Structure 1
Amino acid sequence: MNTTPTSAVTSVMPSQLPAGPAERTVYSYGVRAGDDLHISGMVAFDSEANIVGEGDIEAQTEQVFRNLQAVVEEAGGTINDIVSTTTYLTNVADAPVISAARARYFTGAVLPTHTVIGVAALARPQFLLEISAVAYLGPR
């Protein structure tokens, strides 16, 4: 049962994600504001801040989805509580790989919205994608 007041705003920082990048660039992996969870753009970092799958869009996509899942679960939800995603791709031709991962991870009755944006670069040249999300953690 969610006992968080709707006016509460809290940071969500799962132990499965590296603290260093968030500390250096001054952000939270997630921010819960009442029943809403805003998830920062997830990239292919493992728990030690190593980049997973350099040059491999499939490996990076799997890591990104694991990181999204870690944030929403730390906040008390499931990946199917995600209601909206924004995907940033350095090569929009990779969109089918992301769509295939979405089909594996998002299996709820209501699928999240999905926006894809092609970008020239992300925070590090090794990153091929980044996905931010919003989840609803209120009553079902």
Structure 2
Amino acid sequence: MYLKLFVFMTLACISLVSQSEELKPEYFSLRPEVEKAYGYIHAVKIGNDVKISGAVSMNDDGSPTAVGDIEQQMINVYADLQKVLEHYELGFSNVIVENVFTTDMAAFLEVSGDYRNKIYKGEFPTGSWLEVKGLALPEFMIEIELEAYSPH
């Protein structure tokens, strides 16, 4: 009986150790110096879940790009999000939540439909779209955060 209990406890411990190793966070920085300056990390994968911080239209030094052009800002944001997804060997088909924050919802709705239909070829993700008074810098008109499911 003690041998069975010992074997059971040993297997349980091995299982817990392997699960904890699986759930070790895997962090990814798209722009490490900018992220450090603002105090965030662009993405983290824990198990099968990938959380991606809100992306805005910026260059590698953190300066806003496409100022005043919400369509180009949206395209730039999705391009950055794609880079993060690709780091984890994922695509937009793996996205399960998309939250959009914009300073001009009417303008976003005008430009987003066709573009989003191109990147989300299957089902659209769940999510929320919110019009906000402002984002991190006044030049930013749109910010999008994602959650994705990783099968590997």
TM-score, length basis structure 2: 0.79
CA contact (8 A) 1:61 1:101 kept: no
Q: Is the 8 A contact 1:84 1:112 kept in 2?
A: yes
Say if 2:142 is the partner of 1:126: no
Q: Please give the secondary structure, in 2, of the residue aligned with 1:113.
A: coil
For the residues of structure 2 that align with 1:50 and 1:122, how far apart are their CA atoms? Answer: 14
Who is 1:30 aligned against?
A: 43
Instruction: Please say if residues 87 and 131 of structure 1, whose CA atoms lie closer than 8 Å, have aligned partners that are also in contact.
Output: yes
Contact 1:6 1:35 in 2 (8 A): no
**Alignment root-mean-square deviation, CA:** 1.7
Kindly name which structure, 1 or 2, has the bigger radius of gyration based on alpha carbons: 2
Q: 2:23 is matched with which residue?
A: 7
Residue in 2 that maps onto 1:73: 86
Match of 1:101 among 98, 101, 115: 115
Does the aligned pair in 1 maintain the 2:34–2:61 contact within 8 Å?
Answer: no
* Partners of 2:81 and 2:66 in 1: CA distance: 17
Cα deviation for residue 53 of structure 1 reads 0.6
More helix by share: 2
Q: State the number of aligned residues.
A: 132
- Deviant stretches of 4+, over 4 Å: none
Report the residue type matching 2:88 in the other structure: A
Question: 2:99 aligned to 86, 92, 101, which one?
Answer: 86
State percent identity of aligned pairs: 27
Which structure shows the bigger proportion of residues in strand conformation?
Answer: 1
TM-score normalized by the length of structure 1 = 0.86
